[in-house]
Chains A and B, each alone.
Chain A
Amino acid sequence: MERSIYKFVFRYSKREQVFILLFTVLSLPFYYVSLDIPKLIVNNVLSDQVTEADASVAGLDLGMVATDQDVRSFSLFGYDLLDMERLTLLAIYCGMFLLLVLINGGFKYFINVYKGLLGERMLRRLRYQLFSRIMRFPLPHFRRVSSGELIPMVTQEVEPLGGFIGDALALPFYQGGLLITALIFIFMQDFWMGLASISLYPMQGWLIPKLQRTVNLLGKERVKEVRKVSERIAETVQSAEEMHANGMARWELAEFTSRMGRIFEIRYAIYNKKFFIKFLNNFLAQLTPFFFFAIGGYFVIQGSLSLGGLVAVLAAYKDLQPPWKELLNHYQIREDSKIKYEQVVAQFAPTGMREDEIVVGEVVPEPFNGALTTSNLRYDEDGEVLIDGFNVEIEPGQHIALVGGPTSSKDRAVMLLAHLLDPNSGKLRYGDAEAQAMPEVVTGTQIGFVGPSTSLFSASLMDNVIYGLRQAPKGPRDYSDDAARKKMERELGESAKTANSADDVLADWIDLERAGVENREELIEAVRRGLAVADMEDDVYQLGLRGRLDPETRPEAAKRLLEARSLLESRLLEDSYRGLVEPFDRDAYNTNATVGENLLFGTPVGDDFDLDRLPENEYVMSVLAKVDLVDEFLSIGHEVAQTMVELFADLPPDHEYFGQFSFISLDDLPEFQTLLRKVERDGLEELEENERLMFMALPFKMAPARHRLGLIDNAMQDRLLEARRAFAEDLPESLKGSVEFFDHDLYNTASSLQDNILFGKLAYGRAQAQAKIGDLISDVIENLGLRIVVVEVGLDFEVGIGGARLSSAQRQKTAIARAVLKRPQMIVLSEATAALDGSAQTTILKNIREEFSDRTVIWAMHRPSQAKNFDEVLVMADGKIVEKGTYDELVEKKAVLADLIGAE
């Protein structure tokens, strides 16, 4: 990368910079004329007497001539063009003024947009370069640098550079030009006055940068501190669990405080210095007029300078100030930007970066044509030799186990073999190709690697499993019409202008051939097989049961799930399932559902009809009013409150029943007690609106079958059915999307697969209902061959940030499935199953060895005894191979391996 920001600017925006400059210069004449016209109007049209002196005060030789009252000369740039009526002339000048205002505005608009565009393009290029360098960082570097440091550098720290780049050339030239013009004018009036006006410039030019440099150093310091703070915050977020587990909040806060303190100190010092510079600048600027009056006044009294001349110089000096200020300001920004750029770039050049051709080299990945061989591999980290004299030869199809204690560096060894780390010396060959020069696309295709812990991407499970198939775009983007095609071309054209990636992220990236399939259905089947090898298929099935399916995109699946619903319905009539489920029926009250659920008779979508907050919803209350249930709800609520207070008032506050059974939380209990006393005194009618709502909210949570308070009797149930009908019929358009009603013949998008098949409520108080019905649902799904549909829905599961919504075991299994799916020639595992339970470990070990029976397996084992039955076992200690042979041989030898197994 370019070492300084100017090199960067000139390398990538020479033409644009010159263009901005030219355009700025081109705009100047118009600007001057527009400044001039007011004077022309005053002098030529409005004033009675126009003198030569007035014109020269204005600093422009307008060549105006005294004329008679009504006919004036239309003159521009000192030329009298035409004599005309005074009013006509006024109209012409005003028209010209308006036109010039427009032209100037247009120039300004165009130049600003162009500058912004240029700045943004350069910023985009810079960010892309920085990010692509992250891709090239050697892996161990990620242990030294945190995302908290990298993120602000790529995002907000470089942000101001964009603004600077647009001004990099144009501003100094433009403002410099203005400054020089004004200076020349002053010098022409009087040499000594000229000298006086610039007398302090050398002083300013020398002192200010000197002071500025100390400010800049502090600025650098501040940037570093802020970066550390963001690193610290990122760290705290990541290790929130540890923080809480150790009760470390106090220490963390103190630590954060000290960092904030440091930033504060620096900022304060910056303010002191910065505003002192400002003070100095202002003082010096005011000092110059002092010289003018002192020296100029002296000359005027001596008679060697006219008073008019002095006044003109003073006026010109006023014009001198803005450009000078702009230049100094630009200088400060320039210094800032230079530092920022250099600082950022320095952070993105760690030693051992991989070459661009290795990381993004585009080649067709050919299979390796022979054994994996290493000769004298040596690998250092932070000056410590971790692997030394490492020699192996692994024939294609061989299954190799690496075992060793915690200091054996077997993890580094397998990473070297998988081309994830670069050795400091020695050679690694795949067949006759050397690994060092091999693009990652080749090793990424032919080698599947699974490390001890895997971080997933925040996407669906499916996306995570097929991640390895997305190495390169396979076909163009699917655009629907001409407008979409144009949009795509514009996007790609724009990224080409800034040397960004030429690949279209919306193109079809999935390499079906890699997975050995021809279409999406087969791909899903292959993914399922991969998941089965990783012992994850059942996990995904369970996720699917709890997941949702969109019938719009998968109408066939939705239809088959409805079949499952009917089959389950008929099976529920069997004796052993009788009464375990109360199905949803539009015309029947569901006694196992709460009043709220019965009223809604559907699944809420979004927050409008959140079941816990139903009483707060205005529409719900209006429905109750319509069917005349308000008073009933109030009196039922009152009765519930009475019962609850009676039952729970004497219990100790920490009693578990409050959590389990009460409608009223412990916190609200006293409030209800007060309310009940009020009702006893004044009656229900006297309650305030919010007090009424407190009572009315209670019945919503009641389910007759569960709470058995006898308050929702048959008559009440009929009234609630009426309310249910009213709710659905009058639902306003704006709320239509907020609830998905239960409909026996329709798939419910908002409910889970399981709930769709069940289409009812499990009965309360029926022994083992949940287990029995769970088994029945599985049975129905198997019977109809729907397991694949459920798994597919499970694959849509969003895994969360870093895969946090899956267990660590599931993340590992996902990584294994990913490696299996892309059908590599060789699979390399580094303690990949350590996070799993014993039986899953055994299953996966067996599955992988079967799946890769004719391909290479290299496995760094966390338990040496698992190395049994491998073709060869390499025993490592302190970065060296100390034993080699079959498991039985080495056990027989009773040396290192035997000790390791003994210590297991």
Chain B
Amino acid sequence: MSLQQDVELMRNIPLFAKIEPSKLKLLAFTAERLTFGQGDLVCKQGDEGDSAYIIIDGEADVIVDTANGEVTVATLKKNDFLGETAILCDVPRTATVKAKSDLETLMISKDLFFQLVGQFPSMSIEIMRELARRVERTTVQLREAVSQQA
């Protein structure tokens, strides 16, 4: 896969949509392409985290360890990103992510991540939007859970 292809691919990811091409090229060159085999752990709940990932191809399960055992809470697909919570607020990984199929990712280190967010306001907005979506989703799930218990 060449750099140019990478750039094309990344342009289609909403997160990077508004970044100018030359910066995208630098990002593609410096961000590491990381491939996981099926069943590999991308990150493990409770571990220290220093990078976030963008899924380029394949699917991954988000698994949370609860008192009742492991629960798969979501499945991530192409163009989703994961692992940003740990690097945004310096907490251990909040969930385990396991490759459901062979998984192609773009790994973005903590430093690179903050640089990007600082340089490209559009990216910050995109991330905020995604986080808000997640909060909203969690709230819905919580409401359902509470009503089920009641």
Q: How far is the CA of A766 from the CA of B104 in the complex (A)?
A: 9
The answer, yes or no, to whether A383 is at the interface (CB within 8 Å) is: no
Residue pair B6, A765 in contact (C-beta under 8 Å): no
Q: Tell me the residues in window 639-661 of chain A with beta carbons closer than 8 Å to chain B beta carbons.
A: 643, 646-648, 651, 656-657, 660-661
Q: How far is the CA of A651 from the CA of B30 in the complex (A)?
A: 13
The answer, yes or no, to whether A575 is at the interface (CB within 8 Å) is: yes
Q: Which of A579, A661, A766, A767 lies in contact with B29, CB distance below 8 A? A: A661
Complex interface: chain A residues within 8 A of B37 (CB): 575-576, 578-579, 766-767
Residue pair B4, A710 in contact (C-beta under 8 Å): yes
The answer, yes or no, to whether B48 is at the interface (CB within 8 Å) is: no
Q: Tell me the residues in window 569-623 of chain A with beta carbons closer than 8 Å to chain B beta carbons.
A: 575-576, 578-579
Residue pair B6, A708 in contact (C-beta under 8 Å): yes
Q: Tell me the residues in window 1-60 of chain B with beta carbons closer than 8 Å to chain A beta carbons.
A: 1-6, 22, 25-26, 28-30, 32-37, 40, 42
Min distance, Cβ A237 to any Cβ of chain B, angstroms? 39
Residue pair B33, A708 in contact (C-beta under 8 Å): yes
Residue pair A767, B4 in contact (C-beta under 8 Å): no
The answer, yes or no, to whether B111 is at the interface (CB within 8 Å) is: yes
Name the residue of chain A whose CB is nearest to the CB of B111: A656
Name the residue of chain B whose CB is nearest to the CB of A766: B35
Q: Which of B4, B35, B111 lies in contact with A765, CB distance below 8 A? A: B35
Min distance, Cβ A646 to any Cβ of chain B, angstroms? 7
Residue pair A579, B35 in contact (C-beta under 8 Å): yes
Residue pair B35, A708 in contact (C-beta under 8 Å): no
Name the residue of chain A whose CB is nearest to the CB of B5: A710
The answer, yes or no, to whether A369 is at the interface (CB within 8 Å) is: no
Name the residue of chain A whose CB is nearest to the CB of B26: A647
Complex interface: chain A residues within 8 A of B33 (CB): 708, 764-765
Complex interface: chain A residues within 8 A of B25 (CB): 646-647
Residue pair A660, B30 in contact (C-beta under 8 Å): yes
Name the residue of chain A whose CB is nearest to the CB of B27: A647
Residue pair A767, B40 in contact (C-beta under 8 Å): yes
Q: How far is the CA of A708 from the CA of B5 in the complex (A)?
A: 9
The answer, yes or no, to whether A238 is at the interface (CB within 8 Å) is: no
Complex interface: chain B residues within 8 A of A651 (CB): 26
Q: Tell me the residues in window 92-143 of chain A with beta carbons closer than 8 Å to chain B beta carbons.
A: none
Min distance, Cβ B88 to any Cβ of chain A, angstroms? 21
The answer, yes or no, to whether A35 is at the interface (CB within 8 Å) is: no
Residue pair A767, B30 in contact (C-beta under 8 Å): no
Complex interface: chain A residues within 8 A of B2 (CB): 708-710
Name the residue of chain B whose CB is nearest to the CB of A646: B22
Name the residue of chain B whose CB is nearest to the CB of A657: B30
The answer, yes or no, to whether A768 is at the interface (CB within 8 Å) is: yes
Min distance, Cβ A83 to any Cβ of chain B, angstroms? 108
Q: How far is the CA of A710 from the CA of B7 in the complex (A)?
A: 12
Residue pair B35, A710 in contact (C-beta under 8 Å): no
Q: Interface centre among A651, A707, A708, by most B CB within 10 Å?
A: A708
Complex interface: chain A residues within 8 A of B29 (CB): 647, 661, 707-708
Residue pair A765, B32 in contact (C-beta under 8 Å): yes
Min distance, Cβ B59 to any Cβ of chain A, angstroms? 15
Name the residue of chain A whose CB is nearest to the CB of B103: A767
Q: How far is the CA of A764 from the CA of B35 in the complex (A)?
A: 9
Complex interface: chain B residues within 8 A of A661 (CB): 29-30
Residue pair B35, A647 in contact (C-beta under 8 Å): no
Q: How far is the CA of A647 from the CA of B22 in the complex (A)?
A: 7
Residue pair B40, A768 in contact (C-beta under 8 Å): yes
Q: How far is the CA of A708 from the CA of B1 in the complex (A)?
A: 6
Name the residue of chain B whose CB is nearest to the CB of A648: B26
Q: How far is the CA of A285 from the CA of B5 in the complex (A)?
A: 97
Name the residue of chain A whose CB is nearest to the CB of B22: A646
Encode A752-790 as 1/0 by CB contact (under 8 A) with B.
000000000000111110000000000000000000000
Complex interface: chain B residues within 8 A of A709 (CB): 2-3
Complex interface: chain B residues within 8 A of A768 (CB): 40
Complex interface: chain A residues within 8 A of B32 (CB): 765
Name the residue of chain B whose CB is nearest to the CB of A768: B40
Residue pair B3, A708 in contact (C-beta under 8 Å): yes
Residue pair A767, B6 in contact (C-beta under 8 Å): no
Complex interface: chain B residues within 8 A of A578 (CB): 37
Q: Which of A579, A643, A660, A767 lies in contact with B34, CB distance below 8 A? A: A767
Q: Tell me the residues in window 659-677 of chain A with beta carbons closer than 8 Å to chain B beta carbons.
A: 660-661
Name the residue of chain B whose CB is nearest to the CB of A713: B2
Q: How far is the CA of A196 from the CA of B5 in the complex (A)?
A: 108
Min distance, Cβ A698 to any Cβ of chain B, angstroms? 15
Name the residue of chain A whose CB is nearest to the CB of B39: A576
Complex interface: chain A residues within 8 A of B1 (CB): 708
Q: How far is the CA of A367 from the CA of B131 in the complex (A)?
A: 78
Complex interface: chain B residues within 8 A of A646 (CB): 22, 25
Name the residue of chain A whose CB is nearest to the CB of B36: A767
Min distance, Cβ B23 to any Cβ of chain A, angstroms? 9
Complex interface: chain A residues within 8 A of B5 (CB): 710
Complex interface: chain A residues within 8 A of B35 (CB): 579, 765-767
Min distance, Cβ A767 to any Cβ of chain B, angstroms? 5
Q: How far is the CA of A575 from the CA of B99 in the complex (A)?
A: 14
Min distance, Cβ B39 to any Cβ of chain A, angstroms? 8
Complex interface: chain B residues within 8 A of A766 (CB): 34-35, 37
Q: Interface centre among B3, B37, B40, by most A CB within 10 Å?
A: B37
Residue pair B22, A765 in contact (C-beta under 8 Å): no
Min distance, Cβ B115 to any Cβ of chain A, angstroms? 10
Q: How far is the CA of A410 from the CA of B108 in the complex (A)?
A: 56
Complex interface: chain A residues within 8 A of B3 (CB): 643, 707-710
Name the residue of chain B whose CB is nearest to the CB of A711: B2
Q: Tell me the residues in window 458-516 of chain A with beta carbons closer than 8 Å to chain B beta carbons.
A: none
Q: How far is the CA of A656 from the CA of B35 in the complex (A)?
A: 24
Complex interface: chain B residues within 8 A of A657 (CB): 26, 30
Complex interface: chain A residues within 8 A of B26 (CB): 647-648, 651, 657
Complex interface: chain A residues within 8 A of B6 (CB): 708
Min distance, Cβ B104 to any Cβ of chain A, angstroms? 9
Min distance, Cβ B52 to any Cβ of chain A, angstroms? 14
Complex interface: chain B residues within 8 A of A647 (CB): 22, 25-26, 29
Q: Interface centre among B5, B22, B32, B35, by most A CB within 10 Å?
A: B35
Complex interface: chain B residues within 8 A of A710 (CB): 2-5
Complex interface: chain B residues within 8 A of A643 (CB): 3
Min distance, Cβ A699 to any Cβ of chain B, angstroms? 15
Q: How far is the CA of A648 from the CA of B111 in the complex (A)?
A: 17
- Knowing A708-B1, A709-B3, A710-B4, the reply to whether A765 touches B34 (Cβ < 8 A) is yes
Min distance, Cβ B8 to any Cβ of chain A, angstroms? 12
Complex interface: chain B residues within 8 A of A707 (CB): 3, 29
Encode B93-131 as 1/0 by CB contact (under 8 A) with A.
000000000000000000100000000000000000000
Min distance, Cβ B2 to any Cβ of chain A, angstroms? 3
Q: How far is the CA of A764 from the CA of B111 in the complex (A)?
A: 21
Encode A438-476 as 1/0 by CB contact (under 8 A) with B.
000000000000000000000000000000000000000
Name the residue of chain B whose CB is nearest to the CB of A577: B37
Encode A699-714 as 1/0 by CB contact (under 8 A) with B.
0000000011110000
Min distance, Cβ B129 to any Cβ of chain A, angstroms? 28
Q: How far is the CA of A768 from the CA of B35 in the complex (A)?
A: 10
Complex interface: chain A residues within 8 A of B28 (CB): 708
Q: How far is the CA of A651 from the CA of B119 in the complex (A)?
A: 12
Q: List 5 A-B contacts (CB under 8 A).
A: A575-B37, A709-B3, A710-B2, A765-B32, A767-B42
Q: Given A579-B35, A708-B2, A710-B5, 5 other A-B contacts at CB below 8 A?
A: A643-B3, A647-B29, A707-B3, A708-B28, A767-B37
Q: Which 5 A-B pairs have the closest CB atoms?
A: A710-B2, A765-B33, A767-B36, A708-B3, A647-B26
